[in-house]
């Protein structure tokens, strides 16, 4: 069995971290689009630190997607 170097281990951790982040962002994007955000705003919100529940609740309470994004970003 080949020995794994420290650099290879760091690379795997970095790639896995990016993969997990991309999965979470993709899931957030899906939820935001389903809630009613247009794609360009959903992408910005999905990549941000905005609370997903607040994003969705604002639209449910009648806020427009543009105004909600201005509040959240």
The string of pLDDT tens digits covering residues 8-19 is 444 455 555 568
Give pTM, 2 decimals: 0.75
Please list the ranges in the chain whose pLDDT falls under 50. Answer: 4-5, 7-11
Q: Is residue 2 part of a domain?
A: no
Q: Are 39 and 33 in contact (CB under 8 A)?
A: yes
How many domains are contained in the chain?
1
47-67 CB burial, b ≥16 within 10 A, e <16: eeebebeebbebbeeebebee
Q: Is residue 55 part of a domain?
A: yes
Q: Is residue 3 part of a domain?
A: no
Cα atoms in the Cβ-side hemisphere of radius 13 Å centred on 45:
31
Q: Is residue 60 part of a domain?
A: yes
Distance separating alpha carbons of residues 17 and 62, to the nearest angstrom: 36
* Lookup result for tokens 């957030």: 28
């Amino acid at each position: 069995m080949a020995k794994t170097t420290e650099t290879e281990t760091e690379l795997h951790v970095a790639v896995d971290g990016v993969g997990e982040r991309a999965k979470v962002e993709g899931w957030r994007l899906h939820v935001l689009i389903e809630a009613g955000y247009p794609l360009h705003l959903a992408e910005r919100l999905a990549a941000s630190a905005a609370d997903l529940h607040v994003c969705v609740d604002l639209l449910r309470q009648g806020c427009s997607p543009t105004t909600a994004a201005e509040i959240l970003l």
